[in-house]
Amino acid sequence: MADVPSILPLRLTDVTYQARGQTLIDGISGDLEAKGRSVILGPNGAGKSLLLRLCHGLLQPTAGRIEWAVGNNERVRQRQAMVFQDPVLLRRSTAGNIRYPLHLHGTPRREQQARVDEALARAGLSAVADRPARVLSGGEQQRLAIARAWVARPEVLFLDEPTSNLDPAATRAIEELVLAVDQTGAKIIMTTHDLGQARRLANEILFLHRGRLLERTPVTEFFAAPRTAEAAAFLKGDLLC
């Protein structure tokens, strides 16, 4: 992998997304660099999920450009992965779900098992490897979704509110897993509306409000001295709408 040029940074230029006459993402620009965990923070409806889907290429911006460092092509999709808020698990076993992307990408069969086992172990799912994925608990399902996203060694991992429906114990397990994935060198780009989670996981905060990127600052700075009134209000717990 070392001699393959990185797909990062991801460059956004005046990215705008409109639907039904409403501007949902409004002129966002900036580079997402290879290093660090970027957390997109903001109230519900700010456009966080939408921005993630635009970056991942599931949606096309109505104006502006989103470009990977190596250009946008079919292979770029295989080098990134996304964990959805409500992950869609295939109607197969836990191990079968993790094996699926390797199968899609044409990973040699003899390599697959070792990588599936490693991903299972890392996500703490080895004991339920043969269990049908859809009968797992919510926390296990989300860990499985992360393991499945990670198994093909993406350079970028997008996570959309990965703990929004989970209890504190399951949330802690997810956060630990995200940090572990980060340790393997994958760029983490995730959304959350949970301030505590942003503080625990982020290196930098991208604060989004009504489709606009209001500020982008290192995490300590953001929590100590937010630059915008909206961010300050959000931090205070005021209801932004």
Partner 1 sequence: MTDLTAAFALALDMLLRFDPDLLEIVGLSLQVSLSAVGLAALIGLPLGAAVALFRFPGRLAINALLTAFMGLPPVVVGLIVYLLLSRAGPLGILGLLFTPAAMILAQCLLITPIIAALSAQTVADLHEEYDEQLRSLAAGPGQTLVTLLWDGRFRLLTAILAGFGRAVAEVGAVMIVGGNINHATRVMTTAIALETSKGNLALALALGIILIALALGVNLAAMAIRDAARVRYG
User: CB–CB of 186/150 below 8 Å?
Assistant: yes
Least distance CB 49 / partner 1 (angstroms) = 11
Smallest distance from partner 1 to CB 135, Å: 6
CB 52 within 8 Å of CB 82: yes
The rounded distance, in Å, linking the Cα atoms of 198 and 212 is 18
Judged by phi (left if over 0) then psi (alpha if -120 to 50, else beta), residue 211 lies in left
10 vs 205 by CB, closer to partner 1? 10
Query: Which of 116, 78, 83, 77 has its CA nearest to residue 98?
Result: 116
CA pair distance 125, 143, nearest whole angstrom: 8
Tell me: does residue 19 bind partner 1 (CB under 8 A): no
Cα 187 to Cα 35: distance, rounded to the nearest angstrom: 6
Count, residues near partner 1 per rule CB under 8 A:
20
Find the shortest distance in angstroms from Cβ 233 to partner 1: 33
Judged by CB under 8 A, the chain residues 126 through 165 that form the site for partner 1 are 132, 134-135
Question: Which one, 161 or 230, has the nearer CB to partner 1?
Answer: 161
The footprint of partner 1 on residues 64-93 (CB under 8 A) is: 74, 77-78, 81-82, 84, 87-88, 90-92
**In the structure encoding, which two tokens stand for residue 95, read together?**
């191990």
Residue selected from 42, 101, 139, 211 as contacting partner 1 according to rule CB under 8 A: 101
| Interface with partner 1 (CB under 8 A) | 56, 58, 74, 77-78, 81-82, 84, 87-88, 90-92, 100-101, 104-105, 132, 134-135
